[in-house]
Structure 1
Amino acid sequence: MPSSRKVIQKVLAVETDEGAGSKVRRSIGSPQLRNLTPFLILDHFHTPAGAGFPDHPHRGQATVTYMLEGESLHEDSAGHKGKIKAGGVQWMIAGRGIIHAEMPQYGDNLPEPRGMQLWIDLPKEYKMVEPSYQELDPEEIPVAYPQGEDGPVKVKVISGKSHGVESPVRPLGGCWYFHFIFSKPGTVFQDIPTGWTAFIYILKGQLRVGSDSTPHEPYHTLVLSAAPDEGGVEVTATEDNTEFVLIAGEPLNQPVVQYGPFVMTSRDEIHKTIVDYQYGRNGFEKAHTWKSKIGHL
């Protein structure tokens, strides 16, 4: 077995307000963990009744929304709309420009919407591509069973490869995204491409990483080492019903200049983006004429 990566930084995601009444635990993108190429933001969100993320623009990044509980509607200025169900994922390439709304659903028979949103920087050559989506309902996300279907762990393969199972999602730039679910204590080794940035975010339970006996608990992001001989990471769940996401990405050798929802590689490109948005051009043609139905109920 290759050597395991280690925890080199640990950040607690403290709950704060975001959007229109939503509650967010942000780790990547916070002052404690500002730069983790290619990742820009990691939010663990929940949205009380009446809250949501009404019409807003994006350029230059991918946003990955993974619903853990409840449902969320989405709609954009290119005419795309639909629903992300509990356990489903939407991988949106914002590219040159899109305006969209994300509004969770509420009802007597629906749990309070909770999920993860990850922003991934796009390689410079893909910053101005046409926007696109890759969406998987819960039953379309492939599942790996590292120790068999009767074993303690299953892995939802949102992107990348895990224990012989590969996701159909094709990101622009390297990115693997897994949801590990342990029904009881156990140990698993997950391969990760050498040199890629990798981290774990803990949702439930308690775990250890590598040979270190330190216990790690929910709402912490664990940044992993990336030594040349570390071909993956060994994770041990020490409690029943332990869950975490493990995400890895190919580092980008490019500057990051971010202005709110716009992410480019220079101040000049950000200035051009703001002007494009103000004048409604180069991907933002409907910036001042389009309004979503879901964001203005």
Structure 2
Amino acid sequence: MTEAFAFATDIFHTLADNKVVLTASLIALVLVIKIYIVSLINKKSKNKRVKINMVNNAVTVCILIGIFNIWSVEFQKFAISIAAFIVAIVIATREFIQCFIGFLYILSSRPFRVGDWIQVGECYGEVHSTDWAKLTLLEVDIDSYEYTGKTLYLPNSKLITSSIKNLNFLKRYAMHHFTITRDESVNPFVFIDELQEKAQEYCADFRDVAIRYNQLIESRLDVHIAGPEPHIQVATSDIGATQVIFTIFCPTERALEIEQNLTSDFMRFWFTQKALVKEDK
């Protein structure tokens, strides 16, 4: 008797440890019970169809609950593995996800269009094209307003983390600033009026267009900007040198030409005045 009990116990433990056998046994047992209950319904019940349907649903639920209880540890490990896999995928594709989000940002907010001049972080250029992954810029030297011949490929993720400045109005007209620094031996106020006349002379041929374009920019941005009259200011550097600061609102392609002309005039006035200072001494 003891040996039979021990044998039955071993079989039970074997079945309990072997989850596949236990699952099959559970399904077989539930199906046998289902067949028995259905046969009783067929013999004694009138409304057979509804009751049999209820039994079938109950059997299905019992099987699912039983399987879940038997394999709960494995299901938990599987869920953790799936979660870890999804996290790994997200981390691995984070840059691509950010690029796609940046692309959606471009589409929704429209901060620029193809052909606009923009600044993204420290990069300047004309927008050549956009896609879901990158922004393509034709690099522009912001000091000379000329194309460098380089092409910049910026991931769209940079559009989320960096500020975007639309510089489109610089494509036609620029508020051009430049500074000439000399020693303190000459007082620039002696010839500042003549230099101002020269600046107005160089800007005379486009003055009317500059006024209209200046007003157009102000109306679009709803702010007041300097110009279109040229402005010259005298200051000193932190080491006491004389600085003459020029602000010229002019066509972009004329900016360097006007800068060179005014620099030439300044040097001529400066050296002439310096020669007069030497003669007086």
Higher share of residues assigned helix: 2
Higher share of residues assigned strand: 1
Name the TM tier (shorter chain): under 0.3
The two structures have a TM-score, normalised by structure 1, of 0.22
The two structures have a TM-score, normalised by structure 2, of 0.23
